Amino acid sequence: MSRPARAVVVERVRDAPSVPTLARATRGSACFDLAAAETVDLVRDRITLVRTGLRIRCPPGTFLEVRPRSGLGARGVLMVNAPGTIDRDYSGEVKVPLTYLFDGSYRIAIGDRIGQVRLVIDVPVRFRRGSVRPTTSRRGGFGSTGR
């Protein structure tokens, strides 16, 4: 039995060009693609906040996670601070922080897919002081399970 879809409000920023609005590339895609609303040249050692031309408001009890696109990563374009979070109370334009790993530049054109978003259920939690038991053999983190 399927659950009803949650309504995410999407508004185009007034000065933004008409770019594809959030859409899944295929029926099986987990995320919705974000497109660039400007043409920029990414260069090494500089982070560029690429405009999407969209403001997004998610429903109560949720937030949006902005994730990189693997196709860009294979070309040396990385999303900085990934995954990013769009909190429910953020109402500004969504921008995707991108950088380029190689010498030269990489052009992002209007309409290019630059990231993807995923709606996440925000489960209420509270933290309490206590002991974490039992101790496991995993220590150190950062690859502690092997190479």
Note whether residue 133 is domain-resident: no
At 108-131, the pLDDT tens digits run: 999 999 999 999 999 999 999 998
* pLDDT for the residue 138: 66
Note whether residue 4 is domain-resident: no
Residue 115 maps to which CATH number? 2.70.40.10
Note whether residue 82 is domain-resident: yes
At 63-91, the pLDDT tens digits run: 999 999 989 999 999 999 999 999 999 99
Note whether residue 129 is domain-resident: no
Per-residue pLDDT at 145 exceeds 90: no
Per-residue pLDDT at 1 exceeds 90: no
What are the DSSP calls for 57-70, one per residue?
Answer: EPPTTEEEEEE--H
How many domains does the structure of the chain reveal?
1
Cα→Cα distances 59→78, 82, 118, Å: 29, 22, 13
* pTM confidence score: 0.84
Q: Which residue range forms the structural domain that includes residue 107?
A: 9-121
Cα→Cα distances 100→7, 44, 72, 79, Å: 34, 5, 10, 9
Note whether residue 147 is domain-resident: no
How is residue 5 written in tokens?
């879809």
How is residue 69 written in tokens?
């696109």
Note whether residue 46 is domain-resident: yes
